[in-house]
Amino acid sequence: MDIALPINCAKFWGPSYAVEIAMRYQQPSIESKLRSLVYENKVTELIVIPLFPQYASATTGSVHDEVMRVLRQWEVIPKLTLVNAYAKNKKMIDVFVANAKKHDLNIYDHFVFSFHGVPQRHVRKSDLSGTHCLKVNNCCRIKCEANQYCYSAQCHQTALAIADRLGLHENQFSISFQSRLGRDPWLQPYTDQTLSEKLKQGNKNILVFSPAFVADCLETTIEIGHEYKENFMHDGGERLDLVESLNDSDGWVDALAEMVIKKGS
């Protein structure tokens, strides 16, 4: 899911808005849906919202790159807005908080915010100063110009916003990264290792969030909900639950609608 506006947007805007959903690497393609919007629906303005709340060159950046690859072949390019990130979007945070509260939060010993990992070299490149990323203690928690485009820093912003709304103290939650590949070092700490460490510290009941994803998918339901959970329980854990993602909730649709209206987060 890469370029989208809410499917049931009519109740927010009326028939003057055309909506298409496209895939970055699968079908329907971004190119086909851009052509549909402009040549069939006759839209005069394009608003592209990648379904990745935190900016990373491999995800949002790739979507933007594909949109521009297509459009630069056209003789006339419509007015265009590329939404960059919405890591702290209030309405999005509201949905994650509401979904967390579907669980009895009092039964958990610890909370883990698990984000999709990327190689460390990706976030280093986002630090145009070259002096901050992975060189300063707690570099991702320090809000500054050097990490304004940093994926990890934006992940921390999302996690901290949810934790704040839930009234969690610093020692009650951890931020980690999943789905690493290859030999290069990826963003750390790794989620599987974090869960193991927290269990060794006596945290046998853990609730996990995956706020890098706007929908439940195999990387959350299988990797965390089955693989990590199986290992956690095997090693002596008692409960590991996964917070439902945004999916097609009314609150998420409302958040997308507001982003369209405001052309950003």
- pLDDT bucket at 236, cuts 50 / 70 / 90: very high
Nearest to 172 by CA among 120, 106, 123, 122: 106
Calpha distance 173→140 (Å, rounded): 16
CATH class of 103-242: alpha beta
* Under 8 Å between Cβ of 212 and 53: yes
Which pLDDT value is given to residue 109?
98
Mean pLDDT score of the chain: 89
Nearest to 212 by CA among 65, 27, 50: 50
Using a 10 angstrom Cβ sphere, with 0-12 exposed, 13-18 middle and 19 or more buried, the burial of residue 107 is exposed
Calpha distance 119→202 (Å, rounded): 30
Asked if residue 78 has a cis previous peptide bond (ω within 30° of 0), the answer is no
* 247 vs 183, more confident: 247
**pTM of this prediction?**
0.90
Which pLDDT value is given to residue 1?
33
- pLDDT bucket at 127, cuts 50 / 70 / 90: low
Q: Which DSSP state fits 235?
A: T
Nearest to 153 by CA among 177, 185, 183, 182: 177
Lookup result for tokens 């290069």: 184
* Under 8 Å between Cβ of 212 and 224: no
Phi-psi region of 242 (alpha: psi -120 to 50; beta: other; left: phi over 0): beta
Domain boundaries, the chain: 10-86+248-262, 103-242
CATH of domain 10-86+248-262: 3.40.50.1400
- pLDDT bucket at 265, cuts 50 / 70 / 90: low
Task: Determine the Cα angle at 171 with ends 167 and 177, to 5°.
Answer: 95
Question: 80: which strand partners?
Answer: 46
Domains 10-86+248-262 and 103-242 share a fold: yes
Q: Tell me the CA distances in angstroms from 80 to 17, 76, 88, 89, 112, one per residue in order.
A: 15, 12, 23, 21, 37
* Under 8 Å between Cβ of 85 and 61: no
Tokens coding 171: 């020692």
Calpha distance 74→95 (Å, rounded): 39
Q: How many CB atoms lie within 10 A of CB 47?
A: 19
118 has pLDDT over 90: no
